[in-house]
Structure 1
Amino acid sequence: MPTLDKTRRLDAMELIGTVLDAGSFRSWDVPAAAREVDAEYLDDLAKARAKSGTDESVITGEGLIRGRRVAVIASEFNFLAGSIGQDAAERITAAIERATAQALPLLAGPASGGTRMQEGTPAFLAMVKITAAVRRHRQAGLPYLVYLRHPTTGGVMASWGSLGHMSVAEPGALLGFLGPRVYSALHGEPFPQGVQVAENLFDKGLVDAVVPPEELAGILDRALRILMPEPAEAVPAPATVDVGPSPVDAWTSIQLSRNPRRPDLRWLLSAGADDALPLNGTGQGENDPGLLLALARFGSQSCVVLGHDRPRHPGGPAMGPGSLREARRGMRLAEELKLPLLTVIDTPGADLSKEAEEGGLASEIARSLFDLIGLESPSVSVLLGQGGGGGALALLPADRTIAAQHSWLSPLPPEGASAILHRSTEFAPSIAAAQEVNVAGLRRVGLVDHIVDEHPDDRPRDFCSRMATAIEYELSRTAAAPRDERLQRRWEKFRYLGG
């Protein structure tokens, strides 16, 4: 289990100097109005100013990251442990509101013990107005990116520190709600080691990455290129729009789809996408290995990607209820950031276990379908390989569906259907044909809109390139459609599918 290290931490201005382009920072801070405080607290404030070289526990302003204008809020831990009093809260709120008004992405770098105890409840309540300002910023479709620094605890972690579209953490940082000193005072024993540490939070799906300060600018630049893309021209139709279904039978396609060397979602992102930035977990303490969530760019088209993470070995973890809660995080990101959503289907089926049942797998599949069919964002689904049961259906509804030639979709893998109907798996090939599980059948009923060809001598990179070009085209096509028209067409597609 990781433990807290003794690394020297950057102060607020050092962080700003490390992340922003040289000489680009411009402060937004103005002196706070004088408040009546007792002499002891006044002395504390004077000592804090002398120690930190700042007038408050936060610094706000704007600058450039790789030439892109961004707003910045950075805690200064040397000022009363980065605690948030009323003046600091007003400074943070005003900065968020200014970033919203100027349509700027916002980077928050908290390092704080939480509410300033010298100010008590009024300072505590100020976390609400900071959260309200973050909500308005996000509702405007503007990226809110958080870099959690050592240490971040208390009300800060429980408000603006935990609301990022993407949250990354400083290596070894202490991060949590309850400060270790408070726990020790209340319980008479130290808090268990290794729990409130950045690396442990990553393992639990609570942060998206653990990144040292010197690498932060590169990560943020990649994220902002995806989250705030430049306007793009319409993408010309690729050669794959004229590809038809494979002439082979359904059972042959199913066997080909099960080849462990067949390109999976990770291959598609690494070999087909121009950039892909993985996200991690639900942000709510779950990190189910059955699903991969990422921000990505295919050619000129940015999107949120969520899809099945095919197990590397037989019997590996399948998609469980936590995967679908992570998927719904991706759906919310797409809607809030006004980005298209790309779902990628490649699963023999969802997790069939006691844990999945008790975790609410069936209800999570239902919620995923509910959210996808009404998703405000443009959407494209990709049948990449296997499409077994509810695990596949949960990611399927979209404006347009692309299929690899040997992908398939079925209520159960054909062996399972054969066992139900005949108490034997030997009828799987004939059942696959009868159920029309292959791309030819799926196109006939109106599900598949675009087919990407596969060849026996394909290199994985060549197939991924063709698939990526098809994805770029379909993302561009769906994004160009008027919202109401697009939603109506999606509803009609699934209302009359096969009719």
Structure 2
Amino acid sequence: MARLSVVELLSTVFDDLRPWELPVADPTLTTTYRPELDAARERTGHDESVLAGEALLRGRRVAYVAGDPAFLLGSIGVAAGERITAALERATAERLPVIAFPVGGGTRMQEGTIAFLQMVKVTGAVMAHKAQNLPYLVYLRHPTMGGVFASWGSLGHVTLAEPGALVGFLGPRVFEALYGEPFPSGVQLSDNLADRGVIDAVCPPEQLGDALHRLLTVLLARIEAHLTSEDHAVAPREPDAVALPDVPAWESVLRTRREDRPGLRDLLELAATDVTMLNGTVDGESHPGSVLALARFGEAPCVVVGQDRGLQDVPLGPAALREVRRGVRLARELRLPLVSVIDTPGAALSKEAEERGMAPEIARTLSELLTLPTPTVSLLMGQGTGGIALALTPADRVLASQHAWLAPLPPEGASAIMHRTTERAPELASAQGIRSADLLANGIVDRVVPEPDDLAAEPDAFCAALGSALRDELLRVMAQPRRKRRAARARRYRELGL
């Protein structure tokens, strides 16, 4: 498979490349190393294994840092490490998003331990950039191995990769030399890592420009609108109160269990724009019923975390909440509002869920949502059963679809505990106050969004109504001064039930 050179790739993705003058000093050159370095420079026309500069991406200024595998296999020595660091520092100073193109096998062995430690310097520069709430996006190329992958290759807010790229920590040749057998095939391929939730997606080079543009349209929305703090957005007026029909709780439960009811992915497809679906925890865990995305509802950008009702044949486990917590980190690091969407029949009840820390993950997710400094909106979209629903509930504003409900157990479970039979589930559903009207009366939700009578016939109208409500509530909380908003969130839950 022919792959683009580094210059061809940059020219495919960006317009108007402008390399930065970032001169670097040669390292101490041994008799054998000098000819290798000179030959690499002559062959590539570059002075080092890293190129850096700025460019236009669909008219937007960005910075790039890219490895060149044709230059000593993209290895990182002192000069290359210094160039990456200096480029990141300049991008941070100029408040530019960074697109990183790591490649290569890691440390330049000709320079030894001092080259090895360059990864610490580079990592520090990446973290300083992210500390300024600036995007750092990564595109992994073939091959990205060793210290490159274990430093600037694994720190992206979003990580994409070439299809079929070799990506991993341990080089296959090193493994075979050490252990006398080949490394298992297919493990260190970008496609496998995407399936495992280590990276977000594979993306062909010709589609990368559009993917990055879509991401930055969300990530930079507040900066590009000159909304540098939460107290500059314009809040829409409060919605008029809506009279809701007095529907029995059990009827709502049955409606949310219908197979043709739209879910979170339908909501994103029909009511959001500039959607990028992310994948997994980046720690090698994912669940198909868990959703993590970057999107906009109207002009309001956000990180979306939640549960999709259509893909929970295997109940949600602790990994689903670790994916939520990744979304919380993104919201914190990028100063984006967070939308959490609840629609689940309940968490996994199993030996594996216990050993993987279900209860601690619920507690951690609750604590992170309660203390997240950015605006938060929660949407109860359908079923809301148990601790895994509770974990996504805390927010500045909480919405509920008309027939959505929230309960500590499914009504059948509550009936079995109270009456030793599941037959009194409708009675327990009513008695426990689980329906949206009861949640509104008890101050658990702030707003109920009416539903069409037949969701299967009107999924567009259902999703459009929820999307419009989310847009309004996001703008409402974005308009509040941060201290006032966070104090109100704390007070809301302190006074719950009093």
TM-score where L is the length of structure 2? 0.96
Equivalent of 1:204 in 191, 196, 201: 196
Question: Is the CA contact (8 Å cut-off) linking 1:302 and 1:340 kept in structure 2?
Answer: yes
Structure 1 counterpart SS, 2:309: coil
1:296 lines up with 2:295 in the alignment: yes
2:345 pairs with 1:348: yes
Partner of 1:389: 386
Partner of residue 468, structure 1: 467
Letter aligned with residue 251 of structure 2: T
State the partner residue of 1:227.
Answer: 219
Q: Say if 2:168 is the partner of 1:176.
A: yes
Among 13, 30, 34, the residue aligned to 1:19: 13
Partner of 2:2 in structure 1? 8
Listed as ranges, the matches of 1:312-351 within 5 Å are 312=311, 316-351=313-348
SS in structure 2 of the partner of residue 59 of structure 1 = strand
Counterpart AA for 1:405: Q
Q: Which position in structure 2 is the counterpart of 1:147?
A: 139
Match of 2:63 in 1: 71
The amino acid of 1:236's aligned partner reads: P
Deviation string 1:86-136 (CA, Å, 9 cap, x unpaired) is 000000000000000001000000111100000010011011010000001
Q: What is the alpha-carbon distance in structure 1 between the residues aligned to residue 307 and residue 321 of structure 2?
A: 10
Percent sequence identity over matched residues? 56
Q: Distance in 1 between matches of 2:386 and 2:438?
A: 16
> How has the CA–CA distance of structure 1 residues 123 and 246 changed in structure 2, closer, same or farther, with 3 Å as cutoff?
farther
Tell me if 1:451 matches 2:445.
no
- Tell whether 2:91 aligns with 1:99: yes
Between the two proteins, the alignment pairs up a number of residues equal to: 488
Residue equivalent to 1:405: 402
Question: Relative to structure 2, which stretch is displaced further, 420-429 or 315-324?
Answer: 315-324
Q: Provide the secondary structure at the position in 1 that maps to 2:153.
A: helix
Partners in 1 of 2:450 and 2:181 — Cα distance?
63
CA contact (8 A) 2:217 2:274 kept: no
8 Å contact 2:49–2:76 — kept in the other structure?
yes
Residues in 2 aligned to 1:153 and 1:272: alpha-carbon distance in whole angstroms: 40
Match of 2:254 in 1: 255
Provide the alpha-carbon RMSD of the alignment.
Answer: 1.3
Point out where structure 2 has 5 or more consecutive residues left out of the alignment.
Answer: 228-232
Q: Which residue of 1 aligns with 2:489?
A: 490
What is the CA distance between 1:451 and its match in structure 2?
1.2
Shift of 1:247: 1.4
- Give how far 1:37 is off: 1.3
How far apart in 1 are the matches of 2:140 and 2:243? Answer: 50
Deviates more, 1:433-442 or 1:456-465: 456-465
Aligned to 2:436: 439
Instruction: Return closer, same or farther for 1:363/1:245 CA change in 2, 3 Å cut-off.
Output: farther
CA deviation digits over 1:338-388, x for unaligned, max 9?
000000000111111111111111110111011111111110000000011
How many Å apart are 1:311 and its aligned residue? Answer: 3.3
Distance of 1:115 and 1:27 partners within structure 2: 24
Note if contact 1:61-1:71 (Cα within 8 Å) is conserved in structure 2. Answer: yes
Deviating above 4 A after TM superposition, structure 1's stretches of 4 or more consecutive aligned residues are none
In structure 1, how many angstroms separate the alpha carbons of the residues matched to 2:153 and 2:403?
Answer: 45
SS at match of 2:117: helix
Deviation per CA, 1:181-237: give whole Å up to 9, x if none. Answer: 111111122111000000000011011110011100000000000000032752534
Kindly provide the amino acid, as one letter, of the partner of residue 225 in structure 1: T
Distance 2:58 2:352 in 1: 46
Structure 2 equivalent of residue 190 of structure 1: 182
The amino acid across from 2:114 in the alignment is P
User: How does the TM-score come out when normalised to structure 1?
Assistant: 0.96
What is the rounded CA distance, in whole Å, between the counterparts of 1:175 and 1:297 in structure 2?
31
Amino acid at match of 1:303: C
CA shift in 2, pair 1:246/1:133, >3 Å: farther
**CA separation in 2, counterparts of 1:243 and 1:460?**
20
CA contact (8 A) 1:385 1:404 kept: yes
Counterpart of 2:272? 273
Do the aligned residues in 1 keep the contact of 2:404 with 2:436 (CA within 8 Å)?
yes
What amino acid maps onto 1:257 in structure 2? T
Give 2:117's aligned amino acid. L
CA distance in structure 1 between the aligned counterparts of 2:378 and 2:412, rounded to whole angstroms? 25
Name the amino acid aligned to 1:320: G
Q: 1:246 Cα shift?
A: 3.6
| 8 A contact 1:57–1:79 mirrored in 2 | yes
SS in 1 for 2:168: coil
- SS in structure 2 of the partner of residue 145 of structure 1: strand
95-104 or 184-193, which moves further after superposition? 184-193
The 10-residue stretch of structure 1 (30-39 or 331-340) with the greater mean CA deviation from structure 2: 30-39
* SS of alignment partner, residue 341 of structure 2: strand
CA contact (8 A) 1:244 1:451 kept: no
- The 8 Å contact of residues 174 and 198 in structure 1, kept in 2 or not, is answered as yes
Structure 1: any 5+ residue segments left out of the alignment? 1-6
Q: Secondary structure at the match of 2:408?
A: coil
Cα displacement (A) at 1:30? 3.4
The farther-off stretch of 243-252 and 332-341 is: 243-252
SS in 2 for 1:71: strand
Residues in 2 aligned to 1:395 and 1:64: alpha-carbon distance in whole angstroms: 38
**Helix, strand or coil for the counterpart of 1:39?**
coil
Whole-angstrom distance in 1 between the partners of 2:296 and 2:371? 23
Helix, strand or coil: the match of 2:277? strand
Q: Which residue of 1 aligns with 2:236?
A: 236
Match of 2:452, SS state, is coil
Q: Which residue of 1 aligns with 2:230?
A: none
Distance 1:375 1:30, change over 3 A: closer
For the Cα contact (< 8 Å) 1:245–1:439, is it kept in 2?
A: no
Select between 303-312 and 72-81 the one with higher mean Cα deviation. 303-312
